[in-house]
Amino acid sequence: PTLRVALMGLGDYASRVAEAMQSCKRAKITGLISGTPAKLQQWGEKYQVPEDSRYSYENFDSIRDNSNIDVVYVITPNALHHEHTIRAAKAGKHVICEKPMALDVKEGQEMIDACAQAGVKLLVGYRMHFEPNTLEIIQMRDKGELGKITFFQGLSGFRIGDPSQWRLNKALAGGGSLVDIGIYSVNGARYMVGEEPIWVTAQETKTDTIKFKDGVDETIQFQLGFPSGAVASCLSSYNIDHLDRFFLSGDKGFAELHPANGYGPIKGRTHKNELRMPHGAQQTLQMDEMAAIILDGKQPIIPVDGIEGLKDVKIMEAIYQACATGQKQELKLL
Ligand code: NAD
């Protein structure tokens, strides 16, 4: 069977997902949710979604009666993920929610609970979890080819433009660079090291208090400690360009991804050779794999469920706490 997907929030990233889904083998767009009638019409015609499967934010709860939709893919600004996920679950639909899953741990837990209560699955849009070069490294690590893992470095950032966008508005974004782009290093530290961190320290620097208002972080450096003794050192920024690199070191070898998280080909090397797994649109792979997870109960190599999303939210909350207090924060993720 094919996973029938309603896209919610027809912005930049939804456009990328919609285009990539045209090449999916097991997922297709059968519904649209937007606050802009003109977008509903334009997207509806382009992707052949009939009028009775186009919804607004006011009336999308009636998606419950639409037997041609299995899942709602929430691609709205971060602060709306909580409400949109819970309403979609209550309408009896599975949910794929974009990252960051929630603004805080309380919200994230409520989303997990609502999906459990409704008997629907909750997945988070972690596209890297299906990326072949990334998975190649994880396989090598699990086979012991890198030896004992001792260190991870994650660099995630770019110089953000337009100061009026929602990403720089605390109410809609829930934070700054960390929740938007630094989350790739938070999440990546966990899947690259292959353990859950037990403590975090963090430091924030702000050079532009006009563009990056209170609660919107410009640059954060953070460090994670893992039970084995491995450590991670990461950088998240909205004001430093060309930050897209992962480095993993073990006592028998290393692996490097650069770029590590961009939409284009993920490139990298290990102490043995260049990584050369084939590249397709990451969102095509993601949606086909998510179809198998939702429809067949397939277990992904790296989890993409709500619990996985909530772990990253917990760590980010602790990072903000560490920045505010200057104190090391203990973490309990398991
Ligand atoms: P965007 O601004 O381009 O799109 C957001 C959409 O939500 C717009 O169409 C907007 O009209 C709509 N919207 C609905 N209610 C709104 C409101 N109250 N205020 C503002 N907009 C509202 O943003 P985007 O880049 O598409 O990001 C959307 C989500 O996708 C974010 O959570 C972001 O973190 C996530 N994202 C994920 C990836 C990824 O690689 N996984 C990449 C980009 C964005």
Q: Strand 71-74 vs strand 3-8: parallel, antiparallel, or unpaired?
A: parallel
pLDDT, one tens digit per residue, over 96-133 is 999 999 999 999 999 999 999 999 999 999 999 999 99
Domain span(s) for CATH 3.40.50.720 in the chain: 3-125
* Distance in Å, CA 255 to ligand 1 centroid: 32
CATH of 3-125, one of 1.10.3720.10, 1.10.490.10, 3.40.630.10, 3.40.50.720: 3.40.50.720
Burial class (CB in 10 A: 0-12, 13-18, 19+), 124: buried
pLDDT, one tens digit per residue, over 196-231 is 999 999 999 999 999 999 999 999 999 999 999 999
The predicted pLDDT at position 175 comes to: 98
Q: Is the pLDDT of residue 334 over 90?
A: no
Instruction: Decide: 158 in ligand 1 pocket, CB within 6 A.
Output: no
The predicted pLDDT at position 219 comes to: 99
Instruction: Say whether 272 is catalytic.
Output: no
Which of the residues 99, 121, 311, 314 is marked catalytic? 99
* Distance in Å, CA 267 to ligand 1 centroid: 27
What residues does 254 pair with on adjacent strands? Answer: 249
Burial class (CB in 10 A: 0-12, 13-18, 19+), 317: buried
The predicted pLDDT at position 309 comes to: 98
The predicted pLDDT at position 198 comes to: 98
| pLDDT more than 70, % of the chain | 100
Mutation test of ligand 1: which of 34, 76, 134, 184 has the most ligand atoms closer than 8 Å to its C-beta?
76
The predicted pLDDT at position 139 comes to: 97
Which of the residues 184, 191, 238, 320 is marked catalytic? 184
pLDDT, one tens digit per residue, over 232-273 is 999 999 999 999 999 999 999 999 999 999 999 999 999 999
* Distance in Å, CA 264 to ligand 1 centroid: 20
Q: How much is the average pLDDT of 128-150?
A: 98
CATH number belonging to domain 128-278+303-330:
3.30.360.10
The dihedral formed by the CA atoms of 271, 228, 198 and 311, expressed in degrees to the nearest 10: 50
Q: Is the pLDDT of residue 150 over 90?
A: yes
Q: How much is the average pLDDT of 316-331?
A: 98
* Distance in Å, CA 76 to ligand 1 centroid: 4
Confidence of residue 36 (pLDDT cuts 50, 70, 90): very high
Instruction: Say whether 126 is catalytic.
Output: no
This model of the complex carries an ipTM of: 0.99
**For the chain, how big is the Rg over CA atoms in Å?**
20
Alpha carbon 296 to chain centroid, angstroms? 22
SS3 assignment for 95-155? EEECCCCCCCHHHHHHHHHHHHHHCCCEEECCHHHHCHHHHHHHHHHHCCCCCCEEEEEEE
Q: How much is the average pLDDT of 304-314?
A: 98
The predicted pLDDT at position 216 comes to: 98
Instruction: Decide: 10 in ligand 1 pocket, CB within 6 A.
Output: yes
Q: Strand 94-97 vs strand 122-124: parallel, antiparallel, or unpaired?
A: parallel
Domain span(s) for CATH 3.30.360.10 in the chain: 128-278+303-330
